[in-house]
Structure formats: structure tokens, C-alpha cells
Structure 1
Amino acid sequence: MTPEHAREILEVLQDYSPVSEETYRALELLEAEGVRPYFRDRLEEAREPLTPPERLEALLYDPSEQVRSELARHPGLQGEQILFLAETGGAAVREALGKRYTLSLRAMEALAADDPPASLCRNPTLPEYLQLEILESHPERTADLLRNPNASPQVLEQIARSNQDEEILETVLYHDKTRLSTLAYIAEEAPDSLTRNRAREVLEDRLQRLEHSLER
């Protein structure tokens, strides 16, 4: 296989992940011969903070999921461009978008609508109504919602009332946003005595701290 043939293969297999053994062989041959794949240039453009707006717009339609996932992190993207990626991107693009703290509600709704990425569930800017929707529609994301520092107290209560998993209940116990009433529920209703006892300890500690703060 010549470098020219390798380049042809790579340009046909534009969805650079790389995704196939043939793509790997082509990449190795290209780089061994000192031939720079066009993909590398596009990837650098997606990463470069000073990439011109017109090139960012062009990269929105790049056939490579890897290029678009790098683009999803770019600080120069505008709201409509972010929304476009949220609505059209694959899993890697959506995961990268979910880490942005400046997402519009429309973009977050688009990400939450179908297989919400873990990064979105952990994003502290995610509003309560979307947290509740994700919990109801995608219970497999429970652990990710628990890792959100701004998890809604209502979400934490629903998790506590619908789970008997000891690890999940303990995570609820030690979350800063957990209500006293939720702690009291776990202290009484948790399926195992160890979790109930820990809940009582956490509840007592929280009440003591609250009492001390009121005395000041």
C-alpha cells in the first residue's frame, strides 16, 4: 500500500475514530512516510482557541466524530452551534457538550431527551426539572445524578425512596443537598440496620450543626 493509496482510504473512511483495522494500517503507513493526514489539520483547528468563526462553522459538519467531539469543547462556539451539535452529535460529542457550564436550556433539553450523557447528569447547572426527567426516564443514570454537586433535594428524596441499594443510599446520606426529612426517612426505612444507623448519625450531626448555627 502506497502513501497515496493510504490517503485515499482515509479520505473514504472520513469518520475518523479510527474505526477499523484497515484505518489503523493506513494511519501507520501515512505517518511512517511523513504524510500528514488531512484529519490532523481539522483536529487541530477544532482544538485551537483562535480558530476563525467561519472554520468553526465548517467543522460543525465534519464527518469525523472525533473532530466534532473536540469542537464541542471549543470556547468560541455560539448558542445555535452548540444546539446543532446537541441535536446531531454522537455519544462522544454529547458527552463533551455535557461538560459545558454555559449550555442553554434548549441545548440541555436536547441532550437530556435521548440517552443523556453522564457529564450532563453531573453538570451543576442542570436544572431540577431536567434532573427529575432524567431520573424518571433513565434510572440507570442515578449514580451520575448523585455525583452532581447541585443535585436537587427533591431528586435525592426520590432516589432514597425508590432504592434499596446500600451504596446509593449512603451516597444520598452524605450529599450536601439532602434534606433532613430524607435523612429521617432513610434512618427509619433503609433495608439494612447499618445504613439506618449511619443515617441516624448523619441526621444527629446535621441537627447539632444547625442548632449551633442558630445560637450564634
Structure 2
Amino acid sequence: MRLGYNTNGFTSHRLRDALEVIAGLGFKSVAITLDAGALDPYARSTAREAKAIGAWLAEHDLVPVVETGARFLLDPWRKHWPTLLSPRTEDRARRIDFLKRAIRIASLLGAEVLSLWSGTAEAEEPAELLDERLAEGLRILACDAAEHGVVLGFEAEPGMHIENLAGFRRIRDRVGEPGLRLTLDVGHA
């Protein structure tokens, strides 16, 4: 096990500065939260920047993980929206597109894991329907991740649709992809 820290704790730092502080404090891994100010998946310069940061991380023996919890990147008005649970197909497709971009960035960084979560339901809907939407998106993403040498680390987060180990097991079994694994965020444990 490697002790790591998340760049989302450095909102007032440039990404490279945050990484230098994290490495300087002795951490051995870093979760890089993709966001408007940190390897924005929609910016043209991100691929070049990700390669350079990946090389820097390797030089400093800092193992990267990509974290996809950007709060307002997809919608400036609604936190973490849309999700893989969203009722409208086109909204779920926006989340899938974002996550596919994140998978490519993870590959460029040399990150073996991309962390993601279920999100919350927008309205009262049957758990079975929410599970199916989530599983459908995760199957697509697990295949894409495997093609890029990345594992999906699913975070069961309190307050979300999948919030505990039992929920993760249920969705993992439904997805049926070996590249879907569990992520534990000790900040939520």
C-alpha cells in the first residue's frame, strides 16, 4: 500500500506546484482530480501537459491515480452532474464522454487506476433501474479502460447510489467486467 494525497486539497495551487508539495511531504502516490484548472479534459493542451506531468511523476517516484470528482466541470450550476444515473440518455452520454477522456489522460500520465463513483439519483426511481443505467455505463467504460491499460476503481461513497461494499458487490456482479475494482477513499470511510 502507498500513502497518497489528492490534488483537490490544493485548490489554490497550480497542478505542478501541488505535485511538488505532495512529493516533498513524502507521499508515494497522488490522486489527480481532473478539473478546469488541472488537466482539463476539454482543453487542447491537456495531452501534451499530461505526458510532461507523467514524466515528472515517474522521475519523482510518485504513482498517479486519476480521480474524476470535478464538481462543476460538466455543468456550472449543478455539482457532479450529469451522472451515470441521469434519466436522459444524452446526459449519461456526457458523463461517459468525460470519463473516456479521463481514461485517456490516465494512460498518458502512466496511471493504472481511474477512480469514479455512481452519483446520486436526480429523482425517486427504482433501484433496479438505477443499477441498470449504472451498469450499462460501467460496461462501456471498463472496455475502454482495458484498451488503454487502465483499471476502473469504483468508489462506494456515502450518500451516493452505491455507498457501501454491499452496493459495490451488487453492481460489480451486474457489470461482470474484471477491470472494475473497488477504491477506498479513507476520507469517506
Name the structure with the higher helix share: 1
Which of the pair is proportionally richer in strand?
2
TM-score by length of 1: 0.26
Greater RCO, 1 or 2 (C-alpha within 8 Å, sep 6+): 2
Structure exhibiting the larger radius of gyration computed from Cα positions: 1
